[in-house]
Amino acid sequence: EAQVTQNPRYLITVTGKKLTVTCSQNMNHEYMSWYRQDPGLGLRQIYYSMNVEVTDKGDVPEGYKVSRKEKRNFPLILESPSPNQTSLYFCASSLTGNHSPLHFGNGTRLTVT
Amino acid sequence: AQTVTQSQPEMSVQEAETVTLSCTYDTSESDYYLFWYKQPPSRQMILVIRQEAYKQQNATENRFSVNFQKAAKSFSLKISDSQLGDAAMYFCAYRGDGGSQGNLIFGKGTKLSVKP
At B30 the pLDDT is 84
Partner A, chain B 39-58, Cβ-Cβ below 8 Å: 42-47, 50, 52
Q: What is the mean pLDDT of residues A67-95?
A: 97
CB contacts of A87 in chain B (<8 Å) are: none
At B99 the pLDDT is 59
At B22 the pLDDT is 98
The DSSP symbol for B91 reads: E
A95 touches chain B (CB under 8 A): no
Inter-chain CB proximity A42 and B102 less than 8 Å: no
B94 touches chain A (CB under 8 A): no
Inter-chain CB proximity B96 and A94 less than 8 Å: no
Return the residue of A nearest to B40 by Cα. A106
On the question of pLDDT at B91 being above 90, the answer is yes
% residues pLDDT > 70 (chain A)? 100
Backbone Cα Rg of chain B: 14
At A100 the pLDDT is 83
On the question of pLDDT at A93 being above 70, the answer is yes
Distances (CA, A) of A19 to A14, A44, A80: 10, 20, 8
pLDDT tens, residue by residue, A28-43: 999 999 999 998 888 9
Q: What is the mean pLDDT of residues A6-19?
A: 96
SS (H, E, C) chain A: CCCEEEECCEEEECCCCCEEEEEEECCCCCEEEEEEEECCCEEEEEEEEEECCEEEECCCCCCCEECCCCCCECCEEECCCCHHHCEEEEEEEECCCCCCCCEECCCEEEEEC
Q: What is the mean pLDDT of residues B82-103?
A: 86
| Distance, CA of B22 to CA of B44 (rounded, Å) | 21
| Residue A73 burial (10 A CB sphere; 0-12, 13-18, 19+) | middle
Q: What residues pair up with B99 in beta bridges, in sequence order? A: none
On the question of pLDDT at B116 being above 80, the answer is yes
**Predicted confidence band of residue A99 (pLDDT cuts 50, 70, 90):** confident
CB contacts of A106 in chain B (<8 Å) are: 42-44
**Closest Cα of chain A to B51: distance in Å?**
10
At A97 the pLDDT is 81
The DSSP symbol for B104 reads: P
pLDDT tens, residue by residue, B40-88: 999 999 999 999 998 889 999 999 999 999 999 999 999 999 999 999 9
**Predicted confidence band of residue B98 (pLDDT cuts 50, 70, 90):** low
Return the residue of A nearest to B31 by Cα. A99
| Distance, CA of A24 to CA of A32 (rounded, Å) | 9
At B102 the pLDDT is 74
pLDDT tens, residue by residue, B17-30: 999 999 999 998 88
Return the residue of A nearest to B4 by Cα. A42
Instruction: With H, G, I as helix, E, B as strand and everything else as coil, classify residue B86.
Output: helix
On the question of pLDDT at B101 being above 80, the answer is no
CB contacts of B32 in chain A (<8 Å) are: 99
Mutation target among A38, A41, A43, A66 for the B interface, most CBs of B within 10 A: A43
What is the biggest distance separating any 2 CA atoms in chain B, rounded to whole angstroms?
45
At B100 the pLDDT is 56
